[in-house]
Amino acid sequence: MSCDLILALDYPTSAAARPLLRRLNGSLRWVKIGLQMFSAEGPDCVRAIAGEGFKVFLDLKLHDIPNTVARAVESLSALPIGMLTLHTAGGREMLAGARAAQAQANPELLLLGVTVLTSMDAAGLAEIGVTGAPDEQVARLAGLAADAGLRGLVCSPLEVAALRAQFPGGMQLVAPGIRPAGEGGGDDQKRVLTPAAAARAGANYIVVGRPILQAKDPGAAAQAVLAELA
């Protein structure tokens, strides 16, 4: 199974990301736009980056009442994006409504259900009333997302193998929390794995941000991850 790199563009503006994107154009296919850049520039940043030839994963983690999320999915489906996230914790009705809106507005768009954030561990889950281990909560939410018709999930790389066994078919698995071999910790990611290990576990995509963006040579760091996946 092949595994693609998605570069998380954790920049305040699309202009700040442009030098690195131009360096990687031709070798990198996917980029992720998150809340920081989208909050600053809105849909314009999506159009600008897609216009340079990249596939865009829009990571907004939608979570609201079912009608509001469905209408948001409908609006966002008009943008040049290939993936869009929503929180599986929003429940079956919210997920199914989002899926129905996406199927009608943009059948090619992949909705991704976010299970348990990679910044959370068992202690963090306990603080919000979830008494099970992270892998148990991930499996529960993943099953809910699949029942609602979603075809993709976001999970820690530590849960990829179990989800691949749970969904051996066409479920697309996207794994953030990736740290190249030798990369130190010290940030808010708690459940992490190397790119090669995540790929071997069955991830279709890995998301890498700070290990590339904060490297002395971000372009070389990105190419190293791509080489490891190849």
Q: Which residues are catalytic?
A: 61
How big is the CA angle at 204 (ends 199 and 207), to the nearest 5 degrees? 80
How far is C-alpha 62 from the chain's CA centre?
A: 13
Q: How many residues does the chain have?
A: 230
